[in-house]
């Protein structure tokens, strides 16, 4: 439909380098994976609020803030590396994850140094 954006998001964050390198040739505008720095045709995520190796609930404030600190330390160090992506798994969120996401997005949206951007803006080159 009209809201479709051709971004390859490999399942379980795994894809062969050959696939990633040729994503544009097969119609993808970008690739999105967890933990990268958004260089080239990458629009990556850096914040994952779910404890996948634990109880699959919220990772906790300390771990979430550590992810944010790491992402902020890399933001802006290279062209295209200013965006910080939030990974969501709406079917797997527990109440704690929903609460932290509501709070995080409200604080981020209200902060003068932050902008919440649609992925289409990132594809167009917005920092």
Residue 98 lies in a domain: yes
Residue 47 lies in a domain: yes
Query: Structurally, how many domains does the chain consist of?
Result: 1
Residue 2 lies in a domain: no
- Look at residue 79 in the predicted model and tell me its pLDDT: 52
CB 84 within 8 A of CB 75: yes
pLDDT of 101 > 60? The answer is yes
Q: For the segment 55-83, what is each residue's pLDDT rounded down to a tens digit?
A: 999 999 999 999 999 988 887 665 556 78
Residue 1 lies in a domain: no
Nearest to 7 by CA among 25, 29, 27: 29
Residue 77 lies in a domain: yes
Domain extent for 35:
7-123
Residue 46 lies in a domain: yes
Residue 26 lies in a domain: yes
């Amino acid at each position: 439909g009209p809201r479709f954006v051709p971004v390859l998001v490999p399942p379980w964050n795994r894809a062969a380098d050959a696939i990633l390198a040729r994503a544009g040739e097969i119609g993808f505008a970008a690739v999105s994976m967890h933990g990268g720095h958004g260089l080239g045709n990458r629009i990556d995520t850096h914040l994952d609020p779910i404890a996948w190796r634990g109880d699959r609930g919220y990772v906790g404030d300390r771990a979430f803030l550590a992810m944010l600190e790491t992402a902020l330390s890399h933001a802006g160090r290279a062209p295209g590396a200013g965006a910080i992506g939030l990974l969501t798994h709406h079917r797997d969120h527990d109440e704690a994850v929903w609460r932290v996401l509501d709070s995080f997005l409200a604080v981020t949206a209200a902060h003068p140094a932050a902008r919440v951007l649609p992925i289409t803006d990132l594809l167009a080159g917005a920092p």
